[in-house]
Chains A and B, each alone.
Chain A
Amino acid sequence: MVWLYLILGIPFLFAFLVPVLHKRFTPRIHTGWFVLWIPLLIFGILLSTVPTISSGGIIDLSLPWIPAYDINITLFIDGLSLIFGLLISGVGFLVILYSIYYLSQHKEALHNFYIYLLLFMGAMLGVVLSDNIFALYVFWEMTSISSFLLIAYWFEREKSRSGARKSLLITVFGGLAMLAGFILLTMMTDTYSIRGMIHNLGGIHSHTLFLPAMVLILIGAFTKSAQFPFSIWLPDAMEAPTPVSAYLHSATMVKAGIYLVARLTPIFGGGGVWFWLVTGIGLVTLFYGSFNAIRQTDLKALLAYSTISQLGLIMSLLGLGSAGLAPEAGNAQAAYALAIFTALFHLVNHSTFKGCLFMVVGIIDHETGTRDIRKLGGLMHIMPISFTLALIGCLSMAGLPPFNGFLSKELFFTAVLNASEISVVIPVVAWLASVLTFVYSLIMVFKTFTGQPRVKSGKQAHEAPLGMLIPPMVLAALVVLLFFFPNVLVHYVLAPAWAAVLPSLAQANLLTVHVSPWHGVTPELLMTLGVIILGGTLYKTLKKWVKLYRTYPQILTLNHIYETALELMESLSLSLTKRYMTGSLRDYLIYILSFIVVAVGGALVLAQGIAFDPSHDAALSIYELALLAGMVVCAIAVLLAETRLAAVIAVGALGFLVVFFFVLFRAPDLALTQLVVETITTVLFLLCFYHLPKLKKETTPLPSKVVNGLLSLAVGLVMTLVALSANGNPLPESIAGYYENAYELAGAKNIVNAILVDFRGFDTMLEILVLSMAGLGVYTLIKLRMAGGKENERS
Chain B
Amino acid sequence: MKDPNDVILRMVTKVVVIIILTFAVNLFVSGHHNPGGGFIGGLAFVAAIVLLFLVYGIEKVRQNFPVDFKALAGAGVLISVLTGARGMFIGEPFLTQAFGYVHLPLFGKTEMATAVLFDVGVALAVIGTSLTIIMSIGDDR
**Which chain A residues (667-688) contact chain B, with CB distance < 8 Å?**
668-669, 672-673, 676-677, 680, 684, 687
CB-CB contacts of B117-141 with A at 8 A, as 1s and 0s? 0110110011011101100110110
A772 x B73 contact (CB < 8 A): yes
A669 x B115 contact (CB < 8 A): no
B113 x A748 contact (CB < 8 A): yes
- Known contacts: A672-B35, A676-B47. The answer to whether A778 contacts B137 by CB under 8 A is yes
How far, in Å, is A783 (CB) from chain B's closest CB?
A: 7
- Known contacts: A768-B126, A775-B129. The answer to whether A757 contacts B118 by CB under 8 A is yes
**Which chain B residues (9-65) contact chain A, with CB distance < 8 Å?**
27, 31-40, 43-44, 47
B95 x A750 contact (CB < 8 A): no
- In the bound assembly, the distance between CA atoms of A774 and B70 in angstroms comes to 11
**Which chain A residues (722-756) contact chain B, with CB distance < 8 Å?**
746-750, 752-754, 756
A758 within 8 A of B: yes
Stretch at the interface among A37-45, A321-329, A455-463, A759-767: A759-767
- In the bound assembly, the distance between CA atoms of A687 and B37 in angstroms comes to 28
- In the bound assembly, the distance between CA atoms of A782 and B122 in angstroms comes to 25
A695 within 8 A of B: no
CB-CB contacts of B71-113 with A at 8 A, as 1s and 0s? 0011011001100100000000011010110000000000101
Specify which chain A residues have a CB less than 8 angstroms from the CB of B77 in the assembled complex.
765, 768-769, 772
- In the bound assembly, the distance between CA atoms of A594 and B95 in angstroms comes to 42
A748 x B33 contact (CB < 8 A): yes
- In the bound assembly, the distance between CA atoms of A747 and B110 in angstroms comes to 11
How far, in Å, is B72 (CB) from chain A's closest CB?
A: 10
A779 within 8 A of B: yes
Specify which chain B residues have a CB less than 8 angstroms from the CB of A574 in the assembled complex.
none
Specify which chain A residues have a CB less than 8 angstroms from the CB of B111 in the assembled complex.
747
Specify which chain A residues have a CB less than 8 angstroms from the CB of B27 in the assembled complex.
672
- Known contacts: A761-B118, A772-B77. The answer to whether A778 contacts B40 by CB under 8 A is no
Specify which chain A residues have a CB less than 8 angstroms from the CB of B80 in the assembled complex.
764-765, 768
- In the bound assembly, the distance between CA atoms of A712 and B131 in angstroms comes to 37
B70 x A776 contact (CB < 8 A): yes
The one of A669, A761, A772, A779 in contact with B84, judged by C-beta atoms closer than 8 angstroms, is A761
A775 x B34 contact (CB < 8 A): no
B interface bracket (residues with beta carbon within 8 Å of A): 35 or more
The binding surface of chain B is classed by DSSP as helix
How far, in Å, is A765 (CB) from chain B's closest CB?
A: 5
B133 x A778 contact (CB < 8 A): yes
- In the bound assembly, the distance between CA atoms of A668 and B37 in angstroms comes to 11
A779 x B132 contact (CB < 8 A): yes
- In the bound assembly, the distance between CA atoms of A762 and B118 in angstroms comes to 11
A771 within 8 A of B: yes
The binding surface of chain A is classed by DSSP as helix
A672 x B36 contact (CB < 8 A): yes
A768 x B125 contact (CB < 8 A): yes
Specify which chain B residues have a CB less than 8 angstroms from the CB of A749 in the assembled complex.
32-34
B113 x A765 contact (CB < 8 A): no
The count of chain A contact residues (Cβ–Cβ below 8 Å) is 35
- In the bound assembly, the distance between CA atoms of A346 and B77 in angstroms comes to 81
A673 x B43 contact (CB < 8 A): yes
Specify which chain B residues have a CB less than 8 angstroms from the CB of A687 in the assembled complex.
137
A680 x B130 contact (CB < 8 A): yes
Q: B115 — nearest CB in chain A belongs to which residue? A: A757
Specify which chain B residues have a CB less than 8 angstroms from the CB of A764 in the assembled complex.
80, 118, 122
- In the bound assembly, the distance between CA atoms of A669 and B119 in angstroms comes to 14
Specify which chain B residues have a CB less than 8 angstroms from the CB of A783 in the assembled complex.
136
Specify which chain A residues have a CB less than 8 angstroms from the CB of B74 in the assembled complex.
772
The one of B36, B43, B70, B139 in contact with A775, judged by C-beta atoms closer than 8 angstroms, is B70
- In the bound assembly, the distance between CA atoms of A776 and B68 in angstroms comes to 12
Specify which chain B residues have a CB less than 8 angstroms from the CB of A762 in the assembled complex.
84, 94-95
How far, in Å, is B34 (CB) from chain A's closest CB?
A: 6
A776 x B132 contact (CB < 8 A): yes
- In the bound assembly, the distance between CA atoms of A704 and B1 in angstroms comes to 46
- Known contacts: A748-B115, A782-B137. The answer to whether A669 contacts B130 by CB under 8 A is no
Q: Which of A676, A752, A757 has the most CB of B within 10 A?
A: A757
- Known contacts: A673-B39, A775-B130. The answer to whether A758 contacts B115 by CB under 8 A is yes
- Known contacts: A672-B36, A765-B95. The answer to whether A775 contacts B133 by CB under 8 A is yes
- Known contacts: A748-B33, A764-B122. The answer to whether A757 contacts B97 by CB under 8 A is yes
- In the bound assembly, the distance between CA atoms of A754 and B33 in angstroms comes to 9
- In the bound assembly, the distance between CA atoms of A765 and B36 in angstroms comes to 17
- Known contacts: A749-B33, A768-B76. The answer to whether A761 contacts B97 by CB under 8 A is yes
How far, in Å, is B23 (CB) from chain A's closest CB?
A: 11
Specify which chain A residues have a CB less than 8 angstroms from the CB of B99 in the assembled complex.
746-748
- Known contacts: A762-B95, A768-B77, A768-B80. The answer to whether A782 contacts B140 by CB under 8 A is yes
List 24 contacting pairs A-B, 8 Å CB cutoff, sorted by A.
A668-B35, A672-B35, A673-B40, A684-B137, A746-B99, A746-B113, A747-B113, A747-B115, A749-B32, A750-B35, A750-B37, A753-B32, A757-B97, A758-B115, A762-B95, A768-B76, A768-B77, A774-B129, A775-B129, A778-B132, A778-B133, A779-B136, A782-B137, A783-B136
| Shortest beta-carbon contacts, A-B, top 4 | A747-B99, A775-B129, A668-B35, A749-B33
Having A680-B43, A768-B121, A779-B132, one finds 4 other A-B pairs with CB under 8 Å, namely A747-B115, A753-B31, A757-B118, A775-B129
